[in-house]
Chains A and B, each alone.
Chain A
Amino acid sequence: MAIIKSNSEIASAIWRMTVSGTPLGRAGQFFMLRVPGALDPLLGRPISICEIDAELGETTFVYQTVGRGTAQFARLLPGQEIEAQGPYGNGFPLKAGRAVLIGGGIGTAPMLQLAKELHASDPTRMIDVYLGFREEAYLEKSFEQYADSVTRNIGGYVVNDVDFSLDATYYACGPAPMLRAAASAADEASANLFVSLEKHMACGVGACLGCTCQTEHGRKRVCKDGPVFDYREVRDAI
């Protein structure tokens, strides 16, 4: 059980919740968050880690209110408890050298912790961040402390802004059309790209088989074997 320290709307329907207690984990992993004792909706919601402050023992989640479950989260107040099961999933691999991070919409959230870990593991590495939003930007400023450049795109196609010909590792999280565009661009440039996938899931631990996807190496569970994959492996699942 985690205690909510803060929970506020940072953009339209985008909320930032910081909790203390159980969570932590690493970039690209997620927690199943659930209002304690709730029977309706019953299931937890997979929410990725946005930022970890290990010193304070605090974990921040940024989530979009899309349905009744996330709407319940938005009503929680500081001091209240929230169930946080996890950390689940594999997380992003921290590859050596230059890194390019591409986040679209709420997919920008896991990119922040990724930028933080990449920077911490090698403060000299170049980190370029590209963020795409439909109407309104958020989290943008938080990236500046870790990144060499932060490029934002509102209302357009963020992937078009990215140079895929660099000697770098590319990481992307966002809506399926964005990931497909990134995959095509990576194909053309023979770039190394890791994508974080999102699928409906019930359990988060690999038991319900709700999030199975077909990959080059057979069936994989987005929650347990992912959510981060080499894009070549999951090309047909994006």
Chain B
Amino acid sequence: MQSNPLELTLCGIFLKNPVIAASGTFGFGHEYSEVMDISRLGGISGKGLTLNGSAGNKGMRVYETPSGMLNSIGLENPGVRHFVEHEAAYMRTLGPAVIANLGGHCEEDYLEGARLLNNADIDILELNISCPNVKAGGMAFGMLPDTAADITKKVKAVSKHPVMVKLSPNAPDLVAVARACEGAGADALSLVNTFLGMAIDVKKKRPVFENIYAGLSGPAILPIALRMVHQVAHAVNIPVVGMGGITSAEDALKFLMAGAVAVQVGTMTFADPNAMLSIIDGLAEYCAQEGLANLQEIVGII
């Protein structure tokens, strides 16, 4: 039997291809399972969870910008317990690797959330220390190397799952944060979360978002995200999962060449639900054209 050139192992978990649905863009899989063949994905990172759930932010939540969008959802989610009891088992039936994304407002939230997730059949815990849209906690944990390392170390100590830390591009020294997380025991890193941005309604003379600032994603951020993935991937020895504005197989290849072993796709799925499937097909075609036994051969060649 011919081997699958797209397959890889991430944190000891088998992925049939390196294309993962990004957290916050895919729910827990229910919605897109109705409009596309989600079994073909390499993995799914579920909607960001907080210990007790959240109603999310008031006011405008999404706002389109040139080649991208700002969001201020504010981690609307049903809470970790609901996920453990109702969503994890469903996600397991879908086929792709199951990643639970865990956010938090304080240290104890993260640790209790991680403990509860020990009871869920998931493959990887994605530790979200990079959500820019919640007032307390969230991105604050990902800004400085010391705080990022501290929370990573503590979550690692209680979690039985591999821990992939999702980093914020808003950190003043992202490479230092990445190294600190690696030193604290992170099994992998994923980056980048959204860039802090802003929109103003000039007619109303006020900010579009109630939180004033919001997270920018989409093709507009790709070159910056790519640079950051390149820097981080060359600074650490743990696997890096890259994301930021990927719309095509060619974009995914850029992130792989820059050093990411896998990619996440988010905003583009909103525009075209089948985008990830086209990317998977395009990556397979690329392997055939280039005569690659495995796509991982190109990881980090730049």
Contact = CB atoms under 8 A, between A and B. Distances in A.
A95 B63 CA distance: 36
B66 A40 contact: yes
Given A40-B67, A207-B25, A85 B273 contact: yes
A203 B269 contact: yes
B289 to A, nearest CB: 22
Contacts of B64: 41-43, 67, 69, 202
Which range contains the number of A residues in contact with the other chain? 20 to 34
A210 B35 contact: no
Given A209-B56, A209-B61, A39 B67 contact: yes
Contacts of A201: 62
B282 interface: no
Contacts of B273: 85, 203, 205
**In this complex, which of B24, B55, B62 has the most chain A Cβ atoms within 10 angstroms of its Cβ?**
B62
A207 B32 contact: yes
A211 interface: yes
Looking at chain B's contact residues, is the secondary structure mostly helix, strand, loop, or mixed?
Answer: loop
Interface in A191-205: 200-203, 205
A108 interface: no
Interface residues of B, number: 34
B247 A39 contact: yes
B69 A207 contact: no
B35 A205 contact: yes
A116 interface: no
B27 A206 contact: yes
Nearest to B274: A85
Given A205-B32, A206-B27, A43 B271 contact: yes
A69 B64 CA distance: 10
A205 B68 CA distance: 18
A206 B47 CA distance: 12
A235 B267 CA distance: 31
9 contacts: A40-B66, A42-B67, A42-B271, A85-B35, A200-B60, A202-B71, A206-B30, A208-B270, A211-B62
Interface of B: 24-27, 30-32, 34-35, 47, 55-56, 60-64, 66-69, 71, 73, 76, 218-219, 247, 267-273
Give 9 nearest A-B pairs by CB, closest first: A210-B62, A203-B270, A202-B270, A40-B67, A206-B31, A207-B31, A205-B31, A210-B61, A207-B27
Given A200-B63, A202-B64, 15 more contacts: A34-B271, A39-B247, A41-B66, A42-B67, A42-B271, A43-B271, A44-B270, A85-B273, A200-B60, A202-B62, A203-B269, A207-B25, A207-B27, A208-B25, A212-B56
